[in-house]
């Protein structure tokens, strides 16, 4: 589904990513882990075509190194960005239908299904997005990305800043997406939950992939977790 091989990215003369390698297989949940400032969001920006001079990125069997963000989205990559970035002056319903699209005949995600996944959004369908709580805005951001019927869903800092009860609802949503067979690249700091949910993990350190393995390997390798993810 998605492959990054020796990806390098620079902002002007400042190199940020030096050697990033990761792979998301069809229907799997993969995490990108690392402390703040290690290159996770820049990796997402590279995948989405938001940085220049990138190479080594293949999505759905084709290189997207030179593709524009719009073209990458049309190919079937849906993003829930860090900070949510919902449309504040649109209602919940308007936010959802603004991005609705069919990708390669995929039309599973409709308003009805989004409301089934997040009943709270149905209750607030006619409410402006900037009046929602942070947790509700995150649900809306996820729903908006799903309305594009993506082949791959990327969630950048999926539960950052959310209350525990709302985090639980987001995790429930991700579990439901996993059962549905949605391919997901997930960035989050809740390693214990990620070990339960995800199929494979990649750890970044200073712009390089320094470790990869499944949840069992991550569970066994406590030293690695402490070295690269501990505070």
Beta-bridged to residue 4, according to DSSP, are 22, 57
Least confident of 99-108, 199-208, 222-231: 99-108
- d(CA 207, CA 4) in angstroms, rounded, equals 13
Mean pLDDT of 206-227: 92
CB of 32 closer than 8 Å to CB of 47: no
> How far is it, in rounded angstroms, from Cα 171 to Cα 88?
24
**CB contact set of 1 (below 8 Å; sequence gap of 6+):** 24, 25, 26, 28, 59, 60, 151, 152, 183
Q: How confident is the model at residue 106 (pLDDT cuts 50, 70, 90)?
A: low
pLDDT at 99 (0 to 100)? 85
CB 121 within 8 A of CB 143: yes
Q: What is the mean pLDDT of residues 21-32?
A: 96
128 burial type by CB count under 10 A (0-12 exposed, 13-18 middle, 19+ buried):
middle
The set of residues, in sequence order, having a beta carbon less than 8 Å from that of 170 and lying 6+ positions away, is: 135, 138, 139, 142, 158, 159, 162
Inform me whether the pLDDT recorded for 23 exceeds 80: yes
Domains of the chain (ranges; CATH) run 2-229 (3.40.50.300)
pLDDT top residue among 220 and 107: 220
CB 70 within 8 A of CB 79: no
pLDDT tens per residue, range 133-178: 989 999 999 999 999 999 999 999 889 888 888 899 999 999 999 9
- How confident is residue 231, by pLDDT bands cut at 50, 70 and 90? low
Average pLDDT over residues 25-44: 94
Cα-based angle 65, 58, 147 (whole degrees, multiple of 5): 95
Buried b / exposed e along 129-164 (16+ C-beta atoms within 10 A): beebeebbbbbbbbbbbbbbbbbbbbbbbbbbebee
Banded model confidence at residue 80, pLDDT cuts 50, 70, 90:
very high
d(CA 171, CA 163): 12
């Amino acid at each position: 589904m998605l492959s990054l091989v020796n990806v390098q990215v620079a902002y002007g003369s400042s190199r940020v990513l030096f050697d990033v390698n990761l792979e998301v297989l069809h229907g799997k949940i993969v995490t990108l882990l690392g402390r703040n400032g290690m290159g996770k969001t820049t990796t997402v920006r590279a995948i989405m075509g938001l940085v220049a001079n990138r190479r080594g990125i293949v999505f759905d069997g084709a290189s997207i190194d030179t593709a524009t963000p719009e073209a990458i989205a049309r190919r079937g990559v849906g993003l829930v960005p860090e900070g949510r970035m919902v449309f504040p002056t649109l209602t919940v319903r308007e936010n959802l239908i603004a991005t609705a699209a069919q990708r390669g005949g995929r039309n599973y995600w409709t308003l009805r299904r989004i409301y089934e996944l997040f009943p709270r959004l149905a209750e607030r369908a006619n409410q402006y997005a900037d009046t929602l709580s942070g947790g509700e805005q995150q649900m809306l951001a996820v729903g908006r990305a799903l309305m594009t019927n993506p082949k791959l869903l990327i969630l950048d800092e999926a539960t950052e800043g959310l209350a525990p009860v709302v985090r639980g609802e987001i995790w429930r949503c991700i579990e439901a997406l996993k059962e549905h067979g949605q391919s997901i690249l997930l960035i989050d700091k809740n390693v214990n939950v990620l070990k339960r949910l995800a199929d494979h993990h990649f750890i970044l350190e200073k712009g390089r992939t320094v470790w990869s393995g499944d949840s069992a390997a991550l569970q066994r390798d406590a030293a690695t977790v402490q070295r690269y993810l501990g505070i």
